[in-house]
C-alpha cells in the first residue's frame, strides 16, 4: 500500500479488531494485524491500542531502535494534519527504507609499543653484578681467604 496515503481519524477507528488492527504512532498509520502474534509485548496491548494514537504509550515503554525500525514495515499511511518531519528533525532514528542493518562498527586497533630498553641498562644489569663479584673475589684473595 502507498505509504503516503493520508487517513482521517474516523477512518482509522474503523480498524479496531483482531482481524483488522490499525494504530497511530508518530503520525504514521500502522496496520499491525499481521504483527499481533509476533509482538513481544503481547497482542492484547496492540488490540487495546487499535484505532488510537499510541505514540506516548509506545515511547513510554522505551521500545528499542529495532522496534522503531519495525514501525515503517507496518506503515500504511499518515494521519491527516501530520507534518512529515525532515530527516534532520526526526529524533526517532527511523530509517527510510524497510529495515537497515546497523552499520558495522569500525574496529580500531593500535599496538602499544613499549619504549625499547636503553642500552646502558644492559650494562647495569649484567656488568655491574659481574664487577661486584669480581671485586668480592679479589678482596677475598687479598685477605687470604681465597686460594686460587
Enumerate binding residues for ligand HEM (CB under 6 A).
Answer: 23, 25, 30, 32, 35, 39-41, 45-46, 49, 54, 57-58, 61, 63-64, 66-67, 70-71, 74
The residue whose Cβ lies closest to ligand HEM is: 41
DSSP letter string, the chain: --TT-EE-HHHHTT-EETTEEEEEETTEEEE-GGGTTT-TT-HHHHHHHTTSB-HHHHHHHT--HHHHHHHHHTEEEEETTPPPPPTTT--S---SSS--PPPPPPP-----PPPPPPHHHHIIIIIHHHHHHHHHHHHHHHTT----
Give the nearer residue to ligand HEM in terms of CB position, either 90 or 131.
90
CB nearer ligand HEM, residue 13 or residue 125: 13
Beta carbon nearer to ligand HEM, 42 or 85: 42
Amino acid at each position: 500500500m502507498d505509504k503516503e496515503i493520508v487517513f482521517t481519524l474516523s477512518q482509522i477507528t474503523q480498524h479496531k479488531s483482531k482481524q483488522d488492527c490499525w494504530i497511530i504512532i508518530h503520525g504514521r498509520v500502522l496496520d499491525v494485524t499481521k504483527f499481533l502474534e509476533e509482538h513481544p509485548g503481547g497482542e492484547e496491548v496492540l488490540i487495546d491500542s487499535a484505532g488510537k494514537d499510541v505514540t506516548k504509550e509506545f515511547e513510554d515503554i522505551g521500545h528499542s531502535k529495532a522496534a522503531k525500525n519495525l514501525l515503517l514495515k507496518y506503515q500504511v499511511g499518515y494521519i491527516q494534519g501530520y507534518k512529515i518531519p525532515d530527516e534532520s528533525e526526526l529524533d526517532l532514528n527511523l530509517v527510510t527504507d524497510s529495515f537497515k542493518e546497523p552499520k558495522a562498527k569500525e574496529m580500531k586497533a593500535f599496538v602499544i609499543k613499549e619504549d625499547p630498553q636503553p642500552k646502558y641498562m644492559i650494562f647495569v644489569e649484567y656488568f655491574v653484578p659481574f664487577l661486584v663479584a669480581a671485586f668480592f673475589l679479589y678482596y677475598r684473595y687479598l685477605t687470604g681467604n681465597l686460594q686460587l
